Amino acid sequence: MNARLTPALLALAVCLAPAVARADIYKYVDEEGRVTFSNIPQKGAQRIYVDSISVIPGPSKPRTKASAGGATRVNAPSPGSFPKVDSATQKARDTNRNAILQEELAAEQRALAEARQALADAETTKTAEEKQNPQKYVQRLSRLREAAVMHEKNVAALNAELGRQR
């Protein structure tokens, strides 16, 4: 008889588990106004009653297609209120953006050349103060190297952005 009751009791326990697993939620606001939610009651906490738990399904996966570079692009429809732009206007905007990026790239390349030249000059010369305090010389070289690296990264980022445009 125990062999027959065991599966029945197990099935009953599985059916009742969600009801037991449901815990009360308490909201506590401390003296500084911080709000804490917990399943552990504490003095001054308010019990929050939840009639039912709403489950909102997540968005479905958007349709995608592979672009020329192998990257996946998402085809998401624009909202109805989203402003539409004709192709000539968009082409003019793209051309303007490209010109701005080209100008920024040229400026960064000039700044990179200047930073490299300043670093080369600093590596060959020390001021009188730097001869007395070698740490100042090391700090100056470090600042100049950081500036050169920053300009190198900017040039690389601008080249990558221009490459994505084409």
- Domain annotation covers residue 81: no
Q: pLDDT of 70-97, one tens digit each?
A: 566 667 777 878 888 888 998 999 999 9
- Domain annotation covers residue 148: yes
Is the separation of the CB atoms in 35 and 25 below 8 Å? no
- Domain annotation covers residue 129: yes
Domain of 106 in residue numbering reads as 97-165
Give the phi and the psi of residue 36 in degrees, each rounded to 5: -125, 130
- Domain annotation covers residue 62: no
- Domain annotation covers residue 120: yes
Count of CB atoms within 10 A of residue 93's CB? 11
Please state the domain count of the chain.
Answer: 1
Give the phi and the psi of residue 120 in degrees, each rounded to 5: -65, -40
pLDDT value of residue 39: 82
Q: pLDDT of 40-62, one tens digit each?
A: 888 888 887 665 666 677 777 66
Task: Evaluate if pTM is beyond 0.75.
Answer: no
